[in-house]
Chains A and B, each alone.
Chain A
């Protein structure tokens, strides 16, 4: 049984004419010990999906219209308040994009980590355990740094504290929502390295949300690509990057410049991401799709498994020409 199984989840915001469908019939699973990358641009619904796992999206304005979320054998959408409190932190923990905004500025970081321990492992809520966690996430001089306030730390250090807080409760699933987007690239490399190491050491599953396809190749076992509230392609990470099947995934991969790849011009995707309130009919990508067929504007495509382990929401996936494989960058 997978650790997390989301089945046909649909989430709306607002009512009546103002209703916006943020997530539309989304299904995904994460096995124990696996890393799934959820890739998408802003507004594609990836954060709403991630927050729904612990039912953290406030209702109202949101409304869970249909679908099911099974986390560690429990039906999250039917849990009562005490059940939700148990799984929040106990089974799934979160790390967000802006560590500075997620930490409480008026408490020392050590006491914020201890709070997570008190809730989920009261017997271990000691300074020694706080120091052990800080050491585990690679904070130098943890004995003294635990007495720091968040503003006394750099962004990278704050994100390490966030990760220490998240793993303090020994969750089975860590959801990291753009954990390195606010960080510099050398610090990003440190944090990704830390996540990889922690996953191996603690055997957690990770749901990593990112818009950076480079991170997918670095960390992901599987990838799901989202566009306008739906998953358009899902595959093992290496296969998706080597041979993307959906036109959107292909276009996305071609539109990012690589290091030392000699393309004189980027292949840009025309137009912009549709707003959730005004989605195109039929396939949601068709107005921007270079391979769109006449009936793409009418028929909404399904997401069938086209090859073992590969799902694609495009009926023409095997007739459209595939992008040439990317040339390997010649970086020392």
Chain B
């Protein structure tokens, strides 16, 4: 294991940012710390980097006990949400910073910087100041700067959070490719589940200072550990005490399916190729309305329209978790 976090707790006054968190992050992988804002994921990343200290617990990096090491001795690369570019230095100088601190040979530094600028497609911008770059370019510069010192782990704190949607998506794909080229153990923090599902090899879901689940994107999506993970990773709807994905509930125009429940279409909204239905259960008027998505083809085939009576059943093998209140779940 490249990074081993054991029993880390961090409080800010009365607020518990991390509550006895233990997690192992494997070598050479791209891991996402995913969770809602204020859930503790950034704090965990900063504790791994040594920019924040833990009240209790230990951090091990590449087998070295790092809990009390200052950040400059941990050999981690850190990329900040707002770039943290050295404003008074050129792009090349920014990238060279870590190497100059390490007193590397001048010619070596020059070669390494050229190589890294090429890697992040900023070769022709070496002499510019960070203020003359776009947000995406600045973040690529920050990545090159972090990679220059050949860190044993690369930590990224919401690296694309300050960028607009299009650049964000480009950089995301680019990070994935970069990681395949330069397979350094990488951990990035995000609150965007799509970003995590798309980029990461492994996802750690963190909420309210605790780890909810660790797994590959597929594991998390197909076998969520609880209702929080399920609802954080995508849209959900509840049917008789179980949470399902809206596309995992099938709509029938006849009751001849075992366990199918009768419902009436309250509203339907078409968005491109999919149709979102809002339905009321006929035999359970107190039940909250259901959301079901069907394809445009299904809608046409069944002749779905508002006011129509239909039967609903979850598809075979659809992931589902009970919608029990969390406090009860914790006691049990």
Q: Do A and B bind each other?
A: no
B interface, CB within 8 angstroms of A:
none
A interface residues (Cβ-Cβ under 8 A, vs B): none
